[in-house]
Each structure stands twice: as structure tokens, then as C-alpha cells.
Structure 1
Amino acid sequence: MSKDVIFSTSVVPLSELLSQAVLAIFDTVHAAKEVLIQKENFKKFSTYLDRIAFILKELSELNIDHSKSLENALEVLNREIKVAKQLALECRNRNKVYLLINCRKIVKALEDSTKDISRAVSLIPLASLDVSSGIKNQVSKVTKDMLDSEYRAAVTEEEILAKIQLGIQERNGDRSYANNLLVRIAEAVGISTEQSELKKEFEEFKREREDATLHNDFPEALQMEQIIALLEKTDVTTPPEDKEKEYFEKRNSLGRKPLEPLHSFYCPINMDVMVDPVETSSGRTFERSAIEKWFAQGNDLCPLTNIPLNTSVLRPNKSLRQSIEEWKNRNTIITIASIKLILQSSDEQEMLQPLCKLRDICIQRELHREWMTMEDYIPILIGLLSANNREIRTQALFILFMLAKDSEDNKERIAKVENALESIVHLLARQIGEIKLALQLLLELSRNNVVRDSLGTVQGCILLLVTNLGSDDIQASNDAQELLENLSFLDQNVIQMAKANHFKPLLQRLSSGPENVRMIMVKTLSEIELTDRNKLSILKDGALRPLLQLLSNGDLEMKKVAVKALLHLSNVPENGLQMIREGAVGPLFELLYRHSLSSPTLREQVAATIMHLATSTTLQEADQEQVFLLESEEDIFKLFSLISLTGPDIQRSILQSFHAMCQSPSGFNIRLKLRQLSAVQVLVQLCEADNLIVRANAVKLFLCLTEDGDESTFLEHVGQRCTETLLRIIKTSNDVEEIAAAMGIISNLPKVRQLNQWLVDAGAVETIFGCLTNGSKYALHNRQVTENAVGALCRFTVSTNQEWQKRVADAGIIPVLVQFLVSGTALTKQNAAIALKQFSESSFGLSLPIKRHGIFQCFSAAPDTGCPAHLGMCTVESSFCIFEANALEPLVRMLGESDLGSCEASLDALLTLVDGERRSGIKALAEANAILPIIKLLGSPSDRLQEKTLVALERIFLLDELKQKYGGLAQMPLVEIAQKKNNHLKSLAAKVLVRLNQLGQQSSYFG
């Protein structure tokens, strides 16, 4: 602060000078009372001024002679008081943030002014004036007190200055750091933390910077520039739309691949990318923690140059730190954007690792979470809450919790996503890890008034919170309690009753309360949104028995709500089993069979409940306890016969019920009984049903019956019309599961010539090709469609009908089959290998002989070499050659797979090249490196695979070069088979050993 130096040039009466000084003091004291900062220090300063004013008043009342020295003293005093007044006025009128940042300068200026005024007062010539000793003592005392006086900035102010300095030194770019700093400044100087007020104050502070630049106060302007750069990272200073625009401009300019760190980013000691790089006295840079550890171990030489180091000198390498930070930010932005694309895919197996990476990024900095919000991650994360993988749900919950903690805006963003609150609430019925995270997230969301009101409308929320009040996990129980209190606007009677015994009193009223109360309770159970865990708890607490009793109630409305409640609770398989055990099947079937009921909806809901019970029989527990939905052939007949007597909704539920029972541990008996009851005939008819949902369920049940049935059952009912219908379903249906089932039926039907011909004539080959090459259409169920399609294709590749083979080859299917050897499932690979094997069985006969040149062959072009395996002219389309189709390499690879069916199918396909001991085929196998994998199959646990391997090796070892190269490797496995296996395998092993010239030398093999 500069002083205004004022010199008096006119002679003023002494009394007037004294009065002027007193008035100037009063003005300064008044200004000091209105300062915005350092109020305590200015208050202390004002007490000194009041004491001086009192002394001057006493002097003015005395008849003191005018003296030049007294006049000069008063002039100096007036001048210093004006300086103090100017300081007080600046502390009243200037920007509050500016004053806080300059608090140390203000304190120093105030201290200097106090001492200067003290010196001015001490200039009054008291010795030459006729004044009392009392006045002299007062002057002496006040001047001494003022000279000894010290002023200090407040602790809070010092902490803020230190935080500002640290932020500048470390180039801290974290938004939360800047936000917290600005809030602390506002609280320290009494500014409202409302964004509009903070922004207004910040803009005024920026104008102070401009004034400093205009007055050429460059050090102050530079300091303010650094502080402004730090505070400009706050939410106040940058509108959200500007931040988004800046982020996407930066993100779109970065490319798609993260950059590797520069060599200079690595610490030479620990070889990690540095976080806090510091420069030593040798001029080399290291990670601070690494070089400090180096010094702590007693080293005082530079790790790189061996130059002696001053261990007390470690200078932050700010430019390198900034470069590392920029590199990290660049790669983080690219990673966040790339992970988003992965999470939007439908393959959960690929999601978990990137999601864990996203969680780590989220934890690191608030700025990263801001970028995630800008990338619109919230709807994606909400969608992941319904994932099948528990770890995926857990990670998504944690990230959402972190985002919700950051801002009110994020809380509202989460709540605005469709079904977001419902999805989070439903997780309260999961395992404890998910429950705790869901409670934390809901608790955070409930702190926003808008979201809290929405949360209160979510069905099942109170019930699930109450359930978690009794959690063994103390934190979960406490969070549930706090969340209930936050939702205190809800029905307090329900909450208090719920807190008492976890709704047990409410469930008891189902059986003992008045009928109107029972109706309300049952209706609540039938309509409230419940999760699986809660449904299990409700049934366990005794809801089932009173609900079953209500099924026999004479009131139709009571039956309806009771059935709806059972339907609601039965879709948890464990509950379904409990309902079967406790006798729910009888009352439900009685309602279903009563055609006189005036409510179609009631029968439909009964049928849907029975379907849930049927689904529960697929649990292993049902088999262990011998729990069956239908125990007799009569029960099966009665239920299945309803398919022909009811509407589409009941038909669908019955078909789904039988489909579930066919998948149960006792499914074989159900399938057998259905075939005996001519169910196939009914299902064939339903394949032409107008209702697409009924048709789809009929096709799926039809598939179940084809899995282990005898040929006569199907040949009786499946004719040309049925085959055409199945193909039409495959071509026109939008239900991928139905398509897969129809293709599975075609694959499983008896492989008789007439059926195959009907299928070929109806375009089955072309339809199958479409399924195999249009995988994107089938999305999640592509595996089932492909497996069944390749299985169906095997019908038309049999070597006994080369016309069908030709049609398949002309459709371009062989290269597709080869591709499936590489990328298919185990079953797809097996069926693809079977199809290729059947093709290859025709290749020797279809391979064209190579044309031989005459006596002038030396003058003609070089002869064609032909196919190495078939020694003729081969193509994929003309001779179905697996060598020309490049199938040998993937077939050889399949020999090493763990699935025995795939191994056997690939071996069968390869052995078509050595059928009849053809040496050319054997050489082709050797060149494809197939011999060693074939030898390894001698150790297979499958006797049949061992048998085929032994037959193959007997042919392969016809060639001496292969016998010499591989005979030693085959010897010990052959010996083991010869010693331990059955007579047939022993005989085959002996033949191979004879081929290897080993039998005579090792007669003890068969001892």
C-alpha cells in the first residue's frame, strides 16, 4: 500500500491543527469499523487512535504557545493518520478475494502505520510545553504500546494462502481442489456460496488483476494471474456447456490409441512413471519418494553419475510434472471414450475388465468423473445394473455412487434415466455387497430434494429398506435406517409397523384379519415391486398358507388377488418348489380346469403360475427331493389336452410348462409320456398357429421331443407340409429362439431319404446357408442357431447322395464350414468336421485324372501337379476337396481339443485321406503336421477314439520315413494299450507294433 505524502505550506493556528488531527482520527476510526477483512486487527488499531485523540483533545484545551516543532509534529501525525485512513478505506472498498490474498501485506501495512503514528506522536515536544505529568505519561504509554504492537493474519487466512501456494506450485488441475479452495475463501471473507455471488466476486477479482497491470505492478499482476488460473478450474467460472465443448474438442483431436510414456517420464531408480519428479544437485531428475528412500539408505551419490549430492536440495521439476500430467490426461480421455464402446456391447464376458479399469479411473480424480459424465456414462451404468454378472453390477453401482457424490446435477441425471431408481432399489434384495453399495447410492440420492420425492414413489422401496434394517451388517442396517428417515414423508404407520418385525405382523393379518384388511394385504403383495430376495423372505415368513386358503374363498375377487399374489411370488424357483411341497398344485389345477369360471384372466394367471412352478422343477434340488409337478400319465394328459381347448395365453403357459418340465432332471419321462400321448401331432399342427407366441412355444417343445425319440413317432406325423412349415418359420420368424428350435428339429428328425428330399426341394440348403452367413440377425442366440444349422446341414452332405452334396457345395457352404472349425463352439466344430468328412469321402472318386503329355512333352508347358492328397485335379466345388478348402490345418488343431466329440470328428475327416492305405493322403497328413497330434490321441480316455487312432497309425506307418520319424514317440503309448486294454484294442496295438518292427523284440507286451 502506498502512502500519500501531504506537506502543509500555510501557517495554521495551533488549536485548528489539533482539531484537524482529532477529526482525522475519528474519520479513520470510522473507516476502520467498516473494513471487510482484518476486523480484529483494525479494532485493536482503533483503540490506539482513540487514546491519541483523547490526548490531543486535552492539549487543545490548554493554553499552549505556538511552536514550530509542535506544528511539525502535528503535520506528520496528520499525514500518517491519512495514510492509515486510506488503508482502511481500501480494506472497505476493494474486492474481498483480493483483500484476503493480500492479507499479509495489509497486516504489515497496518503494523507499519501503527509504528509511524507512534513515532509522530513521540515528536510532540512535551518537555517544552506546560502540560501535566499525567498527559506526559499517557503519551509515553501509548507510543510504547504502539511500537511494541504486532498484528497477525488469521489462522484460516494463512491456511488459505498456503493452499493457494501449493496449488500454484504443484499445478493442481483438480476441479475439486479449486472448488474447495473457492468455498473456503468465500467462507473466510463472508461471501455467499451461491454460484451467482461467487461468480460476481471472481469477476471483480479479475478486474483487480487488470488494475495491477495498468499500474505496472508486475509482481502483483503475475501472482494474481496464477491465482486466477487456479480458480478458473472451478464450476463457478466455467459454464457446463463451455466445459463440454472444450472437452469434446480436446477428445476429438487426440486419436484413438493411448500413447506410450516418454523415456524421460520414468524414474531411473524404480523405473515407474514419475508422480512427483524432483531435480537433485547433480541436475538429474528422480521420483521424490525413490530418491528420498535412496538418501535414507545412506547413499549420498547420484544413482546415475556417482556425483556427490546435497541431500537437502530437491527442486520440483514443474515442467516435467506438467508434461506427465498432460500425457496422463490424454490417455485417460482416450481410455474413457474407448471403454464406453465396450460397455455398449452385449457381451458381458468382455465388460468386466474394462469396467474395473473405469472404476480405478473414477477413483483417481474428480476431473475423471466429470469427463465420464460428459461422455454420458450414467445411462450405460444404469443399464449394467440388470446384468447377469454380479461383479459387473457391483462395479457399476460403485461408479454411480462416486458420480452421485460429486454434484447435485449428477444425482438428478441418475434419477432421470428410465427405471433407474427401480433398478437400484431392486438390488436391495441381492447379496450383501450389492445391498451395501445400493444403500449408499440411494442414501446419497436421497439428499437431493427432487430425487428424494421420486424415490418415495418406487414400489417395494420401503419393504426392502425394512428388510435390511435387520441386516447382520451394521453399516447396511444403519444406512437403511437413515434412508427411511430421509423418506419420512411416507406413511409413518407402515414404516413403524415394518420396523418392528419386518412385516411379519402384516403377513399375519392375511390369515387372521378382517376380510377387507386381508383383501388390502393380498392386493399389496400382488402389486408391489419385489425382488427375489424379498419374495423368498415373504414366503418364509408365512405368506403361503393364508394365500392358498384364499383360493377356496367364495369371493371371486379374493381368488383373483390371491392368484395374482401367488403368480407374483412364484417366479422365484425356490418359492415355486415350496408351493409344490405345500400343496399349491391341487387348488391351482382345480381353478384351471373349471371352465365355468367367469374370469378368463383368472385362468390365465393360474396357468402362468403353474408355468412358474414347472420352471422350479428344473432345479437340482427338485430332483434330490423327488418334487414333481405332474406325477401321473393322467395328470400329463389332462394338462396337455387343455392346449386344444383354451385361448392363446393359456396355451402359451401350458406349452412353457411342459417345455420347462422336459428340461428338468425327470424330463426324459415327461418327453416319453408326451410322445406316447401323440403330442407330436398336436405340436405339428400348432407350428401353423396364427398366434406367433403360441407357435414359437410349440416349436420349442417340439424340439425337446425330438432329442431322444424313436423314428417311427416322427415319421408318422411329420410330412412334406411340416418340413415346409419349419423352413418357412426359419425364414420369416423374428423370434431367434424359435428359429434355433426349428433348425434343431430339422437336425434331429430321422435322416431318411424321403424327408431329406422334401427338405432339399423346399430350399433347406439355401435357408441353412442364410442362417450361417447372417449371424448379426441372431445376436445373443447366434450360437444355438449356428449349432443347429450345421447339425442340420449334415443331413445333406452324406456321400451316398452326391447330388445333395453338389447342391451344398454350389451354395458356397464348404468354406463356411472350414471357418467354423476355427471359430465355432465345440458342437459346431464337431458337426462341421462331420460334414467335411462326408464331403471328403466322395473326393477320390470325383478328383479328375491329370492329363499326361505325349512324346513332345519337353516342348510343352509343365504338367499340372494336381492335388497332393488325391493326385488328381481337385476343386472345392467339383470334388469337395478338404485339402483345397484349406481344412487340414484347422482339423489338425482340433485333434488337440478337450472335447472328445470334436477330436473324433476331426480324426474321421482326416482319415478319409488315407482310406485304403493311399500313400498320397498319408504324405498330405504328414505335411500338415497331423502325425504327432494323432499319436497323442493314443492317450485318450475314449476307447473308440483310441481304436480309430490305432487304425490310422497302422496305415500311416506304411511309410518308412514316418515310421523312423514318429515310431519312437508312438512306442510307449502302444505298449500301454497292449498291456492294459481289451483284446480288440490289444490286437490293433499289436498290428501297429508289428508295423514298427517292435513286437518280436518286446514279447512281454502281451504277457
Structure 2
Amino acid sequence: MARNSDGELEEQSTEGYQEAAFEAFMCPLTKQVMQDPVTIETGQTFEREAILKWFRECRDNGRRPTCPLTQSELRTTDINPSIALRNVIDEWRARNDEKDLEKACNALRLHPEDDEDDTLRAMAYISQICQRSGAKKNLVRGQGIISTLADLLKSSSRRVRLKSLQVLRTVVEDNDQNKEELGKGDTVRTIIKFLSNEHIQERELAVSLLYELSEYEPVCERIGAVYGAILLLVGMGSSKSENMMAVEKAEKTLKNLEKYDTNIKQMAENGRLQPLLTKLLQGGPEVQVTMVEYLGELALANDVKVVVAEQVGTLLVSIIKTGGLPAREATLKAMREMSSNELSAKILLQAGILPPLVKDLFSVGASSHFPMRLKEVSATILANLVASGASFRSIPLDDAGRQTLLSEDVVHSLLHLISNTGPAVECKLLNVLVGLTSSPDTAQDVVSAIKSSGATISLIQFLEAAHREIRVESLKLLRNVSPYMGAELADALGGHLSSLLRVISDAGGGGVTEEQAAARAWGCLGDADGLRPVVDILVENRTEALRRRAVWVVERILRVEDIAQEVAADQTVASALVEAYRNGDPRTRHTAERALRHLDRIPNFSSAFHAQARRP
């Protein structure tokens, strides 16, 4: 085996394995062993195509046909197949092939690494014999040489590895039994590893071999089961640097792998989402459920969420409306992921997701057949949709277009559901109301419904909920509605002040900035006079935990300079802080000191602060 100037492999002669043919097997015209021997009028035998060509040349030259050997003119150009001779030649060729194949196989089995040229020559012969007919490929399998060729894929010689990939492709092409034989053991895994090889020709030959194997379904399934196979094929299929033939083979291999649902899932996980979407759109109900389940498990980039919503949003809404419970559950989980992006959420709204979503949320009783776990998912989707900033005043919930998400009876239903469901759903529905009240355009509608339903007390009572998330969402809602119902909130807060202080204090952690916490506190407590109840808690010397929270709230609020200016005029605040500084636990003292220093920056306050601090 030789190498050309580019380092690529060239075919090498296999004459060393050929036995001499009998003279009778040779065509006098071609000097080659005949494939289809025929006899003419003189009894001479020739290769069919060769003698027919001779007759044409005679006619073209304007002379009568003659025998090429005797030169005698022929009365007829009729030819008769020499069946007996052809059978003898075929038998000779079969014996010769089998003998030469055995020699080639022995050369590969006996120390193939010792003489690289002999190994390459043997593989070249195997390749040539397999190209003659499918029967020869069966003969190769019968010799047990396929596993030997597979072992050579692990050779330390690149030339041997390359030739092995070439020969194996020839051996398995259009022969399912040979594909089955090669697919045994870890050979498929070995071939797949070549896809990540630095050598371009190894990658190209490996993907060509994988394509041939993927044409046989049992081996195709094994290819997809190899960890990393689909990732490598997807990368090669989308590569701009690979040879076009390699890219095409990778694409064709992936197309074959799409026959199996688990492969489609892996493709989607590795960025090739279209097969999943296509099967979702074209498949039957069971296939759709499987594809939607896969879709719900994917972590999609925002731009991909938009593509998915555009292609299958309408179908998903249809499944929500008419599908069975398993299909609806899988679809809701997929929509939970898709709705978390603003653009894809708006596309889902255009596809009509809101009416069936709200209908399922409000369904009650045993007849609804809609479990609480799915209400939680639906509530999450609704919260995501509201967060998208869409105009819900223009999105109808009924065919007549009379109801929207801002309609009074719909908000009443939301408030009722919040008060009669589990913590997870409560939190998400409170988040829905927070979103609807974040805009002045829609806040008034929600506030009116809160007032007409008498739900103010219920919302404030959520400040005492056991779950921190519910308390924080309740605080956000109260902050949003306080400009429109400040008096009602002030009257209703009453004995819930300590709960409010705890929530504001809790909100200082978990990703909420101290400035945001101060803003929430100030929004709920009103103006500077709103500090009076907090100061009263300090003066009355209640529990240490309550005093600590009150000091925490005061310190955050005093960080706002305008507020600090207004509070500085009230010596009671300073006195209460000094008292907390002198008698509180170390945490309370530290916070009180920071609060006093905020006031200390105010002109004419410094002397008062130091005088207070010096008192015994």
C-alpha cells in the first residue's frame, strides 16, 4: 500500500494472492478471464462483449465478419453461450477467491502489526473481492474476518485504521447480516470515537461507515444508545469546516436515527429540535404526548422558546382544550418553560392559551378531574403570562368577549381561589395579582374587585402565612395597591403590624436589596407618621425579636435622606433608638447604632445624639 503526495491511501496490487488461470479461461481478444464466454461459428470461444465489438468493427470497415483467430469469413455472426465453460470458470473463481481470502484472513490474524504492508495488502484484497458480488461479502463473513477488521480500528497505525474503515464500509454496504455482525460488542462505540478525531480523513470515513450501519434498524438503534454519538453527529452535521460529503453523511445518519423517540429527545437536548417539533405536529395522540413530555424536560434558550411557540403553540393550546389528562399535564409542563420568556409568552397568548388555562384553574369539585398539582403549574404559567406585559384588557376569556382577566368576577374568583387552595398555588396567584397591579392601567380594576369582595383583610392575613414566599408576595401586592386604598390598609393592618415588620425584615434577604426592602416598608407604612407604630413598639419594650425587627425597619427607612430629614425633628425616634442601642442584644445594638448614625448626618442632630448616648 502506497501513500500519495497528500498522505492519502492508494490501492495496492493483490496479485500475490491470485492463482494462474487455465488458458481456456482467457479470452483471445481481451487476454482476461472470461465472465460470459460465447462460441462462434468456427468453434472459437470469446468474451461476449469482445466478439460483438469485433463484428461491429468488421462491418464498419466494409468487410465481412471474420474469426479473429482463423481470419476465415463467417457465414453467420450468431453466438452461443458456453454455459459449461462459464460454470467451470465460476467454480475456479470461487475456489480461487476462497483460497486467496483465506490467505488474506490469515495475514490479518497472524501478527497484523508486524508487517504493515502485508496487512494493507490483505485488506485491499478483501475490499476488491467484496466489490464483486454480495455472495463474496457473505464469504468474508463466513471466514470470521469482520471481527478481525474491527479490531484493526484500534491499530496504532493511522494507515491501518484508515484502510480498516474503508474496507468495513465495503463489507457492510447492502448486506444486513454483515452489519449485524459488525454491530456486535463495542465496535459501534469505537467507530463513533473517530468522529472526534483530529484527522479529517478518519472522521469522514467513520461517518460514512456509521451511515451504512444506520441503514440497518437494529444497529441504528445501538448507534443512538452510545453516549455522545448524537452530540458528535449533530456537531458534524452543522459544521462549516467539514467536507460536504461528511456533513451530508452525518445528516443522513441523523435522519435514520430519527426513527427512535429516545434519539429525537437526545437531538433536542443537543440543539437539533426540529425532528421533535415535526413529530409532535405529525404524530398521533400517543406520539404527541411523548414528544410534549420531552419538550417539557428541555431547558430552552429564549430564542428557541420563541421558535417552539411559533411552530407548535396552536397545537399545544388545542391539546390543553381537548386532550386527556396525561396529554394536558405534559403540555402544561412544556408551556411552563415556554411562557417564562416574554416574547414566547405573548405568542402563546395569541394562540389562545388564556381561556382554557383560566378555566382549568377555576374548575372545582370532583367533576373537574383537574388535580391540584396541575393547578400549580397552570398558576405558574398564568403568572408568567402576566409578567410578559401583554394587554389583558383586550384578551377575552369567553366567546362573547365580555370577560377578561381584569373583569370583577374573574378577579373575585382569583381572590377566592387564593384563599381556598394550597401554599404553592396561593403564592403563584398572589404573583398574578402583583403583576396585574404593577401597572396603573390595570391596578384600579384589581383594587375595585378587592374592595367589592371584602378581601382586604384576607390579603393582609397572608402576612402571617407560614411560607416566606407567600408573605413576600403579599407584601408586594399591598405595596402596589396602597396608593389606591391607603386608608383601608391602614385600618386593616391594626394588629398585623408585627407581621408586616417580620415580612419586611425577611425581605431584606433572598435577593431583595435593602433599598427595595426600605421602599416596600415605606410604601406600606405611609409617610413619616407611619413610623409612629414602629417607634411605639420600641418604646413599649416588647419582645426582643419584635424590637429587633422594628429597629431593622427603621434603619432601612432612615437610609433615604429625605425621610431621615423629616424623622430627625422627632426626638422620640432618637430616644427609642438609643434605648435599643443600650439594652438590646448585640444584633439589635449594632443595627440601632447604624440607624442613629443616619440621623447623625443631619445638621443640629449630632449634639442631641451624643447627649442621648451619654445618659446613664
**TM-score of the aligned structures, taking structure 2 as reference length:** 0.48
Larger radius of gyration: 1
**TM-score of the aligned structures, taking structure 1 as reference length:** 0.31
